[in-house]
């Protein structure tokens, strides 16, 4: 028993502090000393001194430098990963204390890319509001890279999206859902609407409103056109704003590729009440599969775990009835 007690709190007794953990967590996430220093609001020289202290405390090197930043070795990755989990647990504890003090029964912070937000998250949130009216639910709708950063940074409990290149896939777990189909939309009075012989080539003669180059949906559409021997649209307006895309489509003859779930929502009575419609072309464009993404080894807070179970139940029900 004495031997076990000597192991307890060893790193703390050797001088490891919360600031050290924050730096290692930031370094594990950014892989750059300057970026890690900025994240925890200290100077780069101070971060370098803290790293030297950490290596002295653990008794070994934790990283090596390279032109684009640093590479953590096995010990560095282990400490950085555990630091993230410990800090996340402290954040959850603080959140639970606030909930107790304010009388709330739980808080949920989730994210989603646009299509799954409309098709899956929205109906589950409606159900959750009926079952748990005191829960404080926050949903962040963004691109997968921003959502992954939010998950790693502790701002999100889980998200519906993808794990893109550039992220360490070993940090995540994913329940795969499927592809995200894309539709081309235009205003209901568009010259192409109602034509029985409309083709994708006809669509390319009009202005298009699209996600800027570099986005996953834009890449998917550009690649579809290339692989099917179509030239790009003559004129393109680039926008990251779904609101701006819809505004341009409803007020001009522009055409926009958007998630099919979003297109169906806005074309229906709950959306823009028929002011937009889907063009009967390019039915096979689909962004690569998405899923429910969680941190590996992380136990969701009770309220978020409940919403997560509701999502899984809905997915299982949809699979059964499909």
Write the pLDDT tens digit of every residue in 131-169. 888 788 999 999 999 999 999 888 899 999 999 998 888
Same domain, 117 and 105: yes
How much is the pLDDT for 1? 44
CATH number of domain containing 277: 3.40.190.290
Question: Of 30, 52, 86, at which residue does a domain stop?
Answer: 86
Mean pLDDT over 287-309 rounds to: 90
Residue among 160, 95, 104, 110 at smallest CA distance from 136:
104
Q: What is the pLDDT of residues 116-128, one digit of tens each?
A: 999 999 999 999 8
Rounded to two decimals, the pTM is 0.71
Tell me: do 238 and 279 sit in the same domain.
yes
Q: Find the mean pLDDT for residues 14-40.
A: 90
Give the pLDDT of residue 120.
94
How many angstroms separate the CA atoms of 291 and 164, rounded? 12
CA angle (193 as vertex; 187, 196 as ends), nearest 5 = 160
Task: Please indicate, yes or no, whether residues 196 and 241 belong to a single structural domain of this protein.
Answer: yes
Are 188 and 280 members of one domain?
A: yes
Nearest one of 152, 114, 111 to 240, comparing CA atoms: 114
Residue 235 CB neighbours (<10 A): 11
Residue 33 to residue 52: CA distance in whole angstroms: 12
Burial class (CB in 10 A: 0-12, 13-18, 19+), 170: exposed
Residues 46, 167, single domain; the answer is no
Which range of residues forms the domain containing residue 13?
A: 2-86
| Closest among 65, 89, 79 to 28, alpha carbons compared | 79
Number of structural domains the chain divides into:
3
**Domain at 316, CATH number:** 3.40.190.10
């Amino acid at each position: 028993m004495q031997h076990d007690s000597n192991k307890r709190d060893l790193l703390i007794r050797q001088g490891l502090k919360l600031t050290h953990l924050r730096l290692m967590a930031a370094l594990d996430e950014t892989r750059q000393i300057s970026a890690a220093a900025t994240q925890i609001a200290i100077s780069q020289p101070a971060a370098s001194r803290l790293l030297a202290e950490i290596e002295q405390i653990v008794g070994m090197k934790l990283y090596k430098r390279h032109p684009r930043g640093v590479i953590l070795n096995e010990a560095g990755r282990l400490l950085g990963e555990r630091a993230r989990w410990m800090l996340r647990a402290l954040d959850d504890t603080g959140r639970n204390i606030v909930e107790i003090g304010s009388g709330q029964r739980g808080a949920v912070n989730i994210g989603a890319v646009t299509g799954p937000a409309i098709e899956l998250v929205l109906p589950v949130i409606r159900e959750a509001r009926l079952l748990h009216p005191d829960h404080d639910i926050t949903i962040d709708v963004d691109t997968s890279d921003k959502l992954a950063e939010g998950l790693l940074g502790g701002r999100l409990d889980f998200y519906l999206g993808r794990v893109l290149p550039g992220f360490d896939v070993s940090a995540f777990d994913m329940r795969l859902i499927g592809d995200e189909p894309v539709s081309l939309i235009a205003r209901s009075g568009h010259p192409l609407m109602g034509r029985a012989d409309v083709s994708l080539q006809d669509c390319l003669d009009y202005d298009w409103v699209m996600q800027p180059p570099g986005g996953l949906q834009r890449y998917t559409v550009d690649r579809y056109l290339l692989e099917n021997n179509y030239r790009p649209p003559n004129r393109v307006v680039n926008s990251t704003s779904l609101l701006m895309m819809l505004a341009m489509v409803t007020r001009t003859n522009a055409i926009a590729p958007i998630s099919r779930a979003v297109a169906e929502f806005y074309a229906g009575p709950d959306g823009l009440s028929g002011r937009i419609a889907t063009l009967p072309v390019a039915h096979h464009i689909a962004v690569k599969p998405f899923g429910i993404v969680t941190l590996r080894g992380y136990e969701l807070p009770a309220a978020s775990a409940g919403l997560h179970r509701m999502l899984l139940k809905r997915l299982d029900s949809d699979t059964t009835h499909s």
